[in-house]
Amino acid sequence: MIDVNNGKEQIPWVEGMTVRDVLHACNYTFSNLLVTVNGMIVPRESYETYLVQDRDRVLALHFFGGG
């Protein structure tokens, strides 16, 4: 299992799963996300290739502006 956003979601781990796959499984479509895996920031350009492992902790933060 992959723990997402401090336990708010848990998704089944699949071999070869990437950060992009995790975001898709959680229906996260925001364009401005900061993603960490086990506390390490994953650059946006690596979402397609960065592999997650079983029991990893993924944190996806959405940045937005306000007034």
User: Which residues face 58 on adjacent strands?
Assistant: 4, 37
Q: Does domain 2-62 have CATH number 3.40.710.10?
A: no
Q: For residue range 29-47, list pLDDT tens digits in order.
A: 888 899 999 999 999 999 9
Render the chain in DSSP notation, one character per residue.
-EEETTTTEEE---TT-BHHHHHHHTT---SSEEEEETTEEE-GGGTTT-B--TT-EEEEEE-----
Q: For residue range 21-30, list pLDDT tens digits in order.
A: 999 999 998 8
Six-digit token string for 37: 């895996």
Domain positions in the chain: 2-62
Q: The whole model's pTM is what?
A: 0.89
